[in-house]
């Protein structure tokens, strides 16, 4: 047994360059595979976060190859050039961990208002490492080898460990929030495996550090790990990276599935649009003309009637005109062009209609309203109409509050009633399913906060693209 342990250690010692070559290759392949599979047009938050993971793979692979090629170059280069290469290697190591950390943070978007600062945390920690141990430490520490150990250890503690764990949690959250509703259990399981590999790498890369004189590096380090498991940490990190590569490549099939579904939805929308046009023509040429004729007949009778009968006929004519207006709204050629409608003016008619039966307070906290696509405005208007309808019909409330909060890169629509609240055992009807579908199509997060007897608050959080241009400030009503 002792002989086998000795032979195993000697094999890893002799083949150390091979270990680092494979280690670097695994992560470089990760960066390449993720970069080639990135989809900017995807609605999944995972797609917008993948460039950070690709950057981590590229930089970390180059860093590990440095452990292989820098010793080879030492035979041909002088000490100053080797010092530059070693310094660059430390920089790439910390930068790769910062990119991994940023990948995890991006997966958690949209962040609540009070946690928005977390997006800057990886960059801040990297700058602290760069200004502190990397730069000031280089000026103050006389022993260069001691400086190499210090910057390596602090980069792993401050960036790799939290970065790996946050990235793992972010993948799990994406699986729960965006993948599970798509009905793709295989993709969900694969992303959970990738999250486990990221967590394992975060622990192996962030806690198992070079030997240092301070705690915990003097207890948990490369030497104690190797003596305990016989295999050096880079082997386990390579295995974690390999599992991550395979899992991510398989999980990224979700983009192909999403593309197929988008094409199917486009075809379905085209069929529905054609059918709507046919129904609109039939409605305009058939039922609508008959209602027109009924209205004209009622007006003619009204001119001949007197007293209470005249009043009844007038109400009948008013009702017929309202029905005509509602039917005309379904005709595509009579709809207003949504490109010329902004969000608050588009919401106003819906709110005014609801004010006929309910007291509604509107709070427009929108100093810089963003430019919205026509489809987004349509979904937001329909969402608001559904929320108001549910509150009026079911909440038994005396008044409703609508709040629109718009900050840089974020829009929040809040509809609050003060009624009886949602029951604990609620069967989601068409209205609630419609609201969830609208939120999903918008790429927004939908929350229901309800207390029995105290009302319900519906919150729609919509992350906005940073290039959106602001409108002039809106009036507060």
Short-list 470, 466, 342, 472, CA closest to 410: 466
Lowest mean pLDDT among 149-163, 213-227, 396-410: 396-410
Which residues are bridge partners to 455 per DSSP? 451
- Is 413:384 a contact under the CB 8 Å cutoff? yes
What DSSP element (H or E) covers 417? strand 410-417
pLDDT digits (tens, 9 = 90+) for 42-79: 778 888 899 999 999 999 999 999 988 998 888 888 88
Q: What average pLDDT does the segment 334-349 reach?
A: 66
- pLDDT-derived band of residue 470, with 50, 70 and 90 as boundaries? very low
Q: What 3 state SS string does 442-457 have?
A: HCCEEEEEEECCCEEE
175-179, 263-267, 385-389: which has the minimum mean pLDDT?
A: 263-267
pLDDT value at residue 393: 77
User: What is the arrangement of strands in the sheet containing 359-365, beginning at the earlier edge strand?
Assistant: 359-365, 399-407, 410-417, 455-463, 445-451
pLDDT class for 29, splitting at 50, 70, 90?
very high
**DSSP codes, 64-108:** HHHHHHHHHHTTTS-HHHHHHHHHHHHHHHHHHHHHHHHHHHHHT
The pTM for the full model equals 0.65
Instruction: Tell me how far apart the alpha carbons of residues 362 and 351 are, in angstroms, rounded to a whole number.
Output: 9
- Per-residue pLDDT, averaged over 226-253, amounts to 92
* pLDDT (average), residues 257-266: 76
* 250: confidence class by pLDDT, cuts 50, 70, 90: very high
Residue 445 has pLDDT above 60, yes or no: yes
Cβ(464)–Cβ(411) below 8 Å: yes
User: How far is the C-alpha of 208 from the C-alpha of 186, rounded, in Å?
Assistant: 33
In this prediction, residues 322-336 reach a mean pLDDT of: 65
Q: Rounded distance, CA 137 to CA 36, Å?
A: 39
Query: Are the C-beta atoms of residues 174 and 191 closer than 8 Å to each other?
Result: yes
With bands split at pLDDT 50, 70 and 90, how would you rate the model's confidence at 212? very high
The pLDDT, as a whole number, for residue 258 is 79
> Looking at residues 315-337, what average pLDDT do you find?
69
Overall average pLDDT of the 238-264 stretch: 88
Which tokens go with 29? 């392949």
- 125-160 pLDDT tens trace: 999 999 999 999 989 998 999 999 999 999 999 999
- The pLDDT mean for the chain works out to 84
Write down the pLDDT at residue 430. Answer: 62
114, two tokens: 């009070």
pLDDT of amino acid 282: 74
At 332, list the tokens: 């595509």
Residue 96 has pLDDT above 60, yes or no: yes
Angle at Cα 387 formed by Cα 407 and Cα 273, nearest 5°?
95
Residue (of 95, 69, 99) closest to 81 by Cα position: 69
Per-residue pLDDT, averaged over 313-337, amounts to 70
- The pLDDT of 19-34, averaged and rounded, is 91
Does 457 have pLDDT greater than 50?
A: yes
Contact 21, 240 (CB under 8 A): no
407 CB neighbour count, 10 Å cutoff: 15
Q: Which residues contact 378 (CB under 8 A, 6 or more apart)?
A: 338
The confidence band for 369, taking pLDDT boundaries of 50, 70 and 90, is low
Average of pLDDT values for 451-469? 77
Which of 275, 283, 323, 316 is closest to 298 using CA atoms? 316
Helix, strand or coil for residue 397? Answer: coil
- Which residue(s) pair with 458 in the sheet? 415, 448
């Amino acid at each position: 047994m002792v002989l086998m342990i000795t032979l195993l250690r000697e094999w890893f010692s002799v083949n150390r360059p091979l270990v680092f070559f494979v280690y670097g290759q695994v992560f470089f392949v990760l960066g390449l595979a993720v970069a080639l599979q990135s989809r900017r047009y995807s609605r999944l938050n995972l797609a917008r976060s993948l460039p950070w993971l690709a950057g981590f793979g590229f930089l970390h692979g180059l860093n590990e190859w440095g452990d292989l090629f820098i010793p080879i170059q030492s035979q041909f280069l002088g000490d100053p050039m080797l010092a530059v290469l070693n310094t660059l290697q430390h920089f790439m190591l910390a930068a790769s961990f910062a990119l991994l950390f940023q990948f995890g943070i991006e997966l958690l978007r949209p962040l609540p208002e009070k946690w928005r600062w977390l997006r800057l945390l990886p960059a801040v920690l990297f700058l602290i490492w760069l200004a502190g141990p990397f730069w000031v430490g280089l000026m103050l520490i006389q022993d260069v080898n001691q400086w190499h150990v210090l910057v390596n250890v602090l980069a792993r503690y401050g960036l790799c460990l939290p970065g790996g764990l946050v990235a793992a949690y972010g993948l799990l959250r994406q699986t729960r929030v965006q993948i599970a509703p798509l009905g793709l259990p295989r993709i969900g399981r694969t992303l959970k495996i990738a999250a486990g590999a990221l967590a394992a790498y975060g622990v192996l890369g962030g806690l198992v550090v070079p030997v240092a004189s301070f705690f915990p590096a003097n207890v948990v380090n490369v030497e104690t790990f190797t003596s305990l498991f016989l295999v050096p940490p880079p082997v386990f990190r390579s295995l974690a990276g390999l599992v991550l590569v395979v899992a991510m490549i398989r999980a990224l099939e979700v983009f192909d599935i999403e593309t197929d579904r988008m094409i199917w939805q486009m075809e379905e929308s085209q069929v529905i649009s054609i059918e709507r046009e046919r129904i609109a023509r039939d409605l305009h040429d058939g039922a609508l003309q008959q209602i027109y004729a009924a209205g004209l007949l009622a007006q003619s009778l009204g001119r001949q009637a007197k007293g209470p009968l005249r009043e009844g006929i007038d109400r009948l004519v008013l009702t017929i005109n309202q029905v005509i207006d509602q039917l005309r709204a379904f005709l595509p050629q009579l709809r207003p062009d949504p490109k010329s409608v902004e969000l608050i003016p588009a919401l106003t008619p819906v709110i005014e209609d609801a004010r006929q039966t309910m007291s509604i307070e509107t709070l427009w906290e929108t100093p810089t309203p963003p430019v919205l696509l026509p489809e987004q405005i349509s979904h937001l208007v329909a969402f608001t109409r559904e929320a108001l309808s549910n509150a009026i019909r079911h909440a038994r409330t005396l008044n409703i509050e609508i709040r629109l909060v718009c900050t840089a890169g974020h829009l929040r629509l809040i509809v609050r009633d003060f009624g009886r609240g949602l029951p604990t055992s609620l069967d989601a009807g068409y209205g609630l399913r419609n609201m969830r579908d609208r939120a999903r199509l918008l790429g927004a997060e939908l929350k229901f906060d309800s207390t029995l007897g105290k009302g319900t608050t519906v919150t729609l959080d919509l992350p906005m693209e940073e290039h959106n241009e602001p409108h002039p400030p809106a009036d507060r009503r």
